[in-house]
Structure 1
Amino acid sequence: GSEYIEDDDATPYVQTVGTTNGIAKITLHSGYEPGPVTISASITTAGGSTITANTPVISIGGGVPSDKWLTVSATKLNLGGLVFVGLETDITAWLADRFGNYNVLDGYAVSFESEVGLAIDSNNVTADKYGAATVTARTQKDGVCVVMVHTKGEEHFYDGSNGCAHDGQYNTGEDFTDTADDPFRDYDDDGLWDNGTTSTLDTTYTAGVNPFEDYVDAAGNNSWDGVNGIWDSDKQLFRNAYFLITGPPIIRFDVSTFTVPDGGSASVNS
C-alpha cells in the first residue's frame, strides 16, 4: 500500500536506527491504501543472539468520514408525543472513512439539529471507537419532525474509474458523488432545497406548497450553495432523519348512522 518507515529510499521497509536512553524510535508513513501493518524490531546481543519484538496491529485508514458511509438510525421513529412529553429515542450517526474503516474516527465531532417536536442535547457529540455518535431526543410537540445530522468529511469517489489509477486517493477525472455545499432540512423529503418560492432543479414546484427549508450556511455568505461540480475533501456531509410524533388512533366512520339487522352484519368504512 506504499507505506514505508523513516525515509522512502531504496529500503523503505527496513531501517536501522540508534537508541537514545535505551529507546529506539521510528516513523511509519501510511501511503495510499488501507490495511493492517505490523512493525518488527530486532536487536543483536553481544553474544550474537537476535531478539525480536512486534508491535500490535496498526490500522491504516482514510482518516475522515466519507459521504458514502454516512448513515443515520434511531431506536424509535414513531413517538406518542400527542399524549406524553418526554418520550425518548436514541439517534445514531454511523461514520466510516473512504475504505469503510470506522475505528479511525474515534472522537470525530457530529452535529444534530432538530425542528419542533423533538428536543435534543447535542453538545459535544463525538463518534466512539465504532464510528457511532448518539444523542437522545425527547418529545415536546406533535407533528412530523426532521432531524438533520451533519459532520465534516469528504465526498465519495469511485477509485480507478475512467482509466485513472486505483491508488486509494482521488485523482482528477474519477467519478464522484457531488453533494450540496450547505446541509439543509429537507422537510418534504424530495432531495431538493426549497426556498419557499422556487425549488432547486424541480420543474414541478408549486409556490406556497413547499416551505422554506433551513440550512447550514457553510460558507457564511447568507446564501444556500448547492453542488459545485468538483470533488471536495473537506466539507459538511449531512443526512435527514424523519420522526412522526403521534397519539392514540381516532376512529371515524363514513356514515352518520347505520342499522344492523338482528343476527346480521353490516360493513362500515372507517
Structure 2
Amino acid sequence: MKKYRFLLLILVLFAYTCGGSGGGGGSNSLPKSEGGSGAGTGTGTGGTTVASISLTATPTNITVGGSSSIQATVLDSLSANVPDGTTVAFTISPSSYGSITSSMDTVSGIATATFIAANTAGPVTVTATSGSVSDTVIVTIAGAESGSISFTSATPSNIGIKGTSQTETSTITFSVKDINGTPVSNGTAIDFCMTGPNGGEYINDLDVTTEAYIDANSNNCYDTGESYTDSDGNGRYTGPRHASVSTISGVATATLHSGYAPGNVTIFARVVGKTLVSSSPVISIGGGMPSAKHLTVATSKFNLEGLGYADIQATISTYVADRVGNANVLQGTTVSYFTEAGATITSSSTLNNQGATSVIFRTQNPIPEDVTPDTWENTLCVRLESQYGSTSVDVSDGAVCTEGHPRDGWAAITVMMTGEEAFNDTNGNGVYDGSDTYTDTPQEAFIDKNDNSSRDTSPFEEFKDDNGDGLYDGTLGSPVWDSNKTIFDDIKLLITGAPSYVELSRWNSTAWVPLTSGTFNIANGDYMSFKLLIADININPLISGTTVTISSDAGKQSGTSSYTFPDIAPSENGPVELLFTIASDDDTDAMDPEVCTITVAVTWKGIKYTYVFTGIVD
C-alpha cells in the first residue's frame, strides 16, 4: 500500500510541474505589459521575463568628446536580477550628438554601455530597452572653452570683379579649437569682418545698409555685443563687411563676394566673447578686363638670323593687367597673333591666372617687308657712305637709301585680345562714368609693317575685322569709352643675316673719312684713329654671340681690340661701330716706314670671316 501512495505522489508532482496554473496548453508566458517607463514585464533573450529597467549615467554632465558610463539594472517580476546574458539595447537621441554601444548582455542583472559625445553641445536622451521594457536618462554635453582660432583656407584665393564672368566668390574657413586642442562644439559663435577696396564687396548676405555702432575695442569691426543702431529693425547688426556664423565640426565658414573694384581683401575672424582673433592672407579681387594701358609684349630674343636660317626661335610673352594693375585678370582670355615675317607655332594662346601667356615664334618665309626708308635711315645711309666710301658702302644716292636699310630687317608681331580702353576713375567707384577721361585706341588691330603707328595699304597691312564689314574701321575718335573691344600692341624683332659690311673709316682731325685709296699712312710720331663698321645686308647689328677681334702687326694699338655682340633690339641707333687707334712706335725716325696690317676677324654662328686692311706706319 505504501508503494502505491509513493507512485501517486510522483504523478501529482509531475502534473503540477508541466501543467502550470490554469492549463492553457502548457505555456508559461505572461500577458504583455502595457506599462510605462522602466517598469512592467517583458520577455528578454531566451524567454527571460523582464519586469523593470533602471538606467543611470555616470557622469551626467560631460564636455564634447567626453564619455559617460550608462548602466542598466534589469529585474524580473520578483525584483530579482534577470539571468546573465539577457540582452539590453541602447540608443541615443539626437543620434548626431554622439555614439553608444548598441547592445550589451547583463551580468548579475546589469548591462553597461559607453556613450561618447560628438562635437555638439546640448542634452542627449539615452534609452535602454529589453523586450518591451525601457528606461531613459539624460546626459548633458557642454562645449569646451575655445582655445584657438586660425585661418585654414580661401578657395579660390583670387576672384574676379563682379560682372566679368569670372568666379566672384571665395569660401573662407577658419579652424576653431578648444583648450584641449580638439574642435570646438558645434554652434560656437564667430564674428567675421573684412577690409577691402570699398567696391561693393561683402561677406555672406548682401546688406545694403551699414548701421552705426560703438567700436568698443577700437578694431574697426563690429563685434557681437557692441552697441549699434538697428536702423532697419531686423534685430541684428547690418553691414556688408560683417557676418556672424556658427561653427560646424570646429570650422567657421563665410563667403566673400566681390564688388566692382579690384584690390586686396583681408578677413578677420573673432570668437564671440573671447579675445581670440585670426586673419586671412590677402585675397585678391581682380579678374577685371585687360586694360590697354597695361598690355605688354616681350621676347626672349630680339635678333634672329632669319635671313639665312629657318626655325630660329624666340618666345613671345604677353603680360596684361586690369585698370589698376592687378595681374589676375580674366583667366582663359584668348590672345591672338599676327606676324609680318616668320610664324607663331599657334595662332592663339590663353592667359593664365597671373595674366600671362606665351607663344613660340620661328623664322621662315616671308622675310620682313621691304619698306620705304624713314628720314633717320636716309640720314644714316648718307653718313655711312660718306664715312666709309661709296665703293665699300654703296647704300645711298647722296640723299636717300638705295639699298637695304635697318627697317627692311624689322619684323612686327602684333598681339591682340579682348579688353577695355584705359580711363581715369576720378570718383574711385570702380566703373566708368561719363565724366571720366579715357584714352581712345584704334577700333581694329593691324600689323604695322612700316612702323608708322597707322594702318596702310602699301605695304598691305592685315587687320582684324571685328565688325565683319570688310573694311578697316580703326580710326581714332570714338565718341564713347569702349569697355569691350580688341586691344593690341606689337613688338619688333630683328631678322638679320651674315656679316655684309665690315669696313674701316679714319679720322682726319676734323671728320671721319674713307681710307685713302683703301689704305692709310701714319707718319713718324703720329697716330691715326679708326672706326670699324660691322653690319648685315640691312645695316643691322649681327646676332648675339658674334665675336669681333681687331689686331695690327705694326705700331701701337689701343682702344677696342675685341667685342661680343649682345642681343640688340631694333632701334634708330644704327649699326655697331668700334673705335681703336694705331700710333707710330718710332719717335726718333731711326726706323724706315713699315707695312702695317690690320686684321679683323668676325665669328658668326661658328663661321670665321677675316678682313685685312693694310697701310704704312713710319
What is the TM-score with the length of structure 2 in the denominator? 0.36
Tell me how far 1:61 sits from its aligned partner: 2.5
SS in 2 for 1:93: strand
**Which residue of 2 is the match for residue 219 of structure 1?**
467
Structure 1 residue 71 corresponds to structure 2 residue 296? yes
Alignment partner of 1:248 out of 498, 515, 538: 498
CA distance in 2, matches of 1:138, 1:58: 39
From 326, 346, 357, the equivalent of 1:133 is 357
Q: Which residue in 1 is equivalent to 2:418?
A: 152
In the alignment, the residues of structure 1 paired with residue 460 and residue 471 of structure 2 have an alpha-carbon distance, to the nearest angstrom, of 13
Is 1:30 the counterpart of 2:254? The answer is no
1:9 to 209, 229, 253: 209
Cα distance, 1:246 vs structure 2 = 0.9
- Report the CA distance shift for 1:20/1:123 in structure 2 as closer, same or farther (over 3 A): farther
| Residues 219 and 134 of structure 1: CA distance in aligned 2, closer, same or farther (over 3 Å) | same
Cα root mean square deviation, aligned: 3.3
For 2:252 and 2:347, locate their aligned partners in 1 and report how far apart those are by CA, in whole Å: 41
Asked if structure 1 preserves the Cα contact closer than 8 Å seen for 2:291 and 2:321, the reply is yes
Q: Are residues 1:232 and 2:498 paired?
A: no
Cα displacement (A) at 1:40: 3.7
Find the counterpart in structure 2 of residue 120 from structure 1.
344
1:39/1:82 Cα in 2 relative to 1: closer, same or farther (>3 Å)?
same
Give the deviation of 1:30 after TM superposition: 2.5
Report the residue type matching 1:169 in the other structure: V
Q: AA paired with 1:115?
A: E
Q: Secondary structure at the match of 1:73?
A: strand
Instruction: Say if 2:340 and 2:449, in contact at 8 Å, map to a contact too.
Output: no
List per-residue Cα deviations over 1:220-245 (Å, max 9, x = no partner): 11111123221011111101211221
Shift of 1:21: 9.7
The letter for the 2-side match of 1:33 is A
Given the superposition, is the C-alpha separation of residues 222 and 256 from structure 1 closer, same or farther in structure 2, using an over 3 Å criterion? farther
Q: Whose helix proportion is higher, 1 or 2?
A: 2
Cα distance change of structure 1 residues 257 and 231 upon mapping to structure 2, 3 Å threshold: same
- CA spacing shift, 1:54–1:215, aligned 2, 3 Å: same
Residues 102-121 of structure 1: matches in 2 within 5 Å?
102-116=327-341, 118-121=342-345
Query: Is there any run of 5+ residues in structure 1 with no aligned partner, and where?
Result: 197-209
Secondary structure of 1:136's counterpart equals strand
SS of the residue 1:68 aligns to: helix
SS in 2 for 1:110: strand
**Deviation string for 1:88-119 (max 9, x for gaps)?**
11111110111101034443321122133x22
Greater Cα offset, 51-60 or 172-181:
51-60
- In structure 2, relative to structure 1, the CA distance for the partners of 1:124 and 1:245 (3 Å cut) is closer
Amino acid at match of 2:483: S
Q: Do 1:62 and 1:98's aligned partners in 2 also have CA atoms closer than 8 Å?
A: no
Structure 1 residues 100 and 106: CA distance shift in structure 2, 3 A = same
SS of 1:244's equivalent in the other structure is strand
Identity of aligned residues (%): 39
Residue of structure 2 equivalent to 1:82: 307
Deviation of residue 252 (structure 1)? 7.0
What secondary structure is seen at the aligned counterpart in 1 of 2:244? Answer: coil
Match of 1:185 in 2: 447
The structure where strand makes up a greater share of residues is 2
- What is the CA distance between 1:146 and its match in structure 2? 1.5
1:89 corresponds to which letter in structure 2? Answer: A
Distance 1:50 1:211, change over 3 A: same
Structure with larger Rg: 2
Cα distance in structure 2, aligned partners of 1:110 and 1:247: 30
Q: What's the TM-score, normalizing by structure 1? A: 0.77
Greater relative contact order, per chain length (Cα 8 Å cut-off, separation 6+): 1
Distance in 2 separating the partners of 1:41 and 1:258: 84
